[in-house]
Amino acid sequence: MVLGWANSVGEFFYLAAKSLQFAFTPPVRFKDIIKQTEFVAVQSAPIVVFCVCFAAVVVVIEASFHMRIVIQNDSLVPGFASLLILRELGVVVACLLVTSRVGAGLAAEVSSMQITEQVDALRLLGIHPIKFLVVPRLIACVVGCVLLTVIANIVCLYGAMLVTQHKMGFGPANFLSAMKAFVSFQDLVFAMIKGAVFGAIIPIVSCFFGFRCKAGAEGVGTATTNAVVTASVLIIFADFILSFLFSSLY
């Protein structure tokens, strides 16, 4: 069992290393990258925007409720909400939603190609499967997750501003003033870096389980489930590591 785990970890890091190597090696398949970016970013944008709006509402309402109990004042809610949204909520929620949608789709697609021997056909034609299948999806997910992170943060902050205005009476000027005191452009840059890292995790994990898929419909389902669960866990773990590293730069 230990040897099996070690072999799986080695294969995963080999896939990740080769994917990053081929990503910077010409030629670049722009047509496939644009197609995959449309699948990742454009088609995922509505569900991301919809969910982060409600996440912003929950953050503001809960923060206001507990601050009124503890310090009898909720004037710090706009600042704390902005801090939480920019540093954690926007990027993590957006990328987890992308994982559940895009990661499952990529794992199912690659798994189907594996069990129908299309991956073996690529090798027979002298085409490296990682460069042909993984690299366009890797670049598209990195770009798409960065874009979705920016969109999610903007929408989430706007939703929080509307909630604070109607529930607590803070105008847009007050919200922006409090936000300026708590956050800076550096927080958005760090969020975009997180989005890029999370975006790289999704296709690598999905394609890894897709290449290891066993024959049959059950194998495709198992590979898809394992890909989504593993990618979600790695995103949470990577968020902890990056947050710890970024905390020394504030």
CA-to-CA distance for 16 and 95, rounded, in angstroms?
19
The per-residue b/e assignment along 68-94, b for 16 or more CB within 10 angstroms, e otherwise, is eeeeeebebbbbbbbbbbbbebbbbbb
What pLDDT does residue 250 have?
66
For the chain, what is the mean pLDDT?
86
> Which residues, including other chains, have CB under 8 Å from residue 80's CB and lie 6 or more apart?
63, 182
Q: Which long-range contacts (CB under 8 A, 24 or more apart) does 213-220 make?
A: 213/110, 213/111, 213/114, 213/115, 214/115, 215/115, 216/115, 219/111, 219/115, 220/108, 220/111, 220/112, 220/115
pLDDT band at 238 (very low <50, low <70, confident <90, very high): very high
CA-to-CA distance for 74 and 77, rounded, in angstroms?
5
What does the pLDDT look like over 160-212, one tens digit per residue?
888 887 777 777 787 788 788 788 888 888 999 999 999 999 999 999 998 88
| Dihedral pair phi/psi, residue 188, rounded to 5° | -65, -40
Which tokens in the block code for residue 107? 């794992």
| Residue 207 to residues 13, 55, 220, 226, 241, Cα–Cα distance (Å) | 12, 30, 12, 11, 23
How is the chain split into domains, by residue range? 29-238
Lowest mean pLDDT among 66-80, 130-144, 231-245: 66-80
Most confident of the following: 49-63, 209-223, 226-240: 226-240
Which tokens in the block code for residue 205? 């994990």
Cis amide bond preceding 136, omega within 30: no
Alpha helices in 73-127 (DSSP H): 77-84, 90-98, 104-115, 118-124
What does the pLDDT look like over 12-42, one tens digit per residue?
888 888 888 888 888 888 888 899 899 888 8
Q: Which residue has the tokens 């059950």?
A: 218
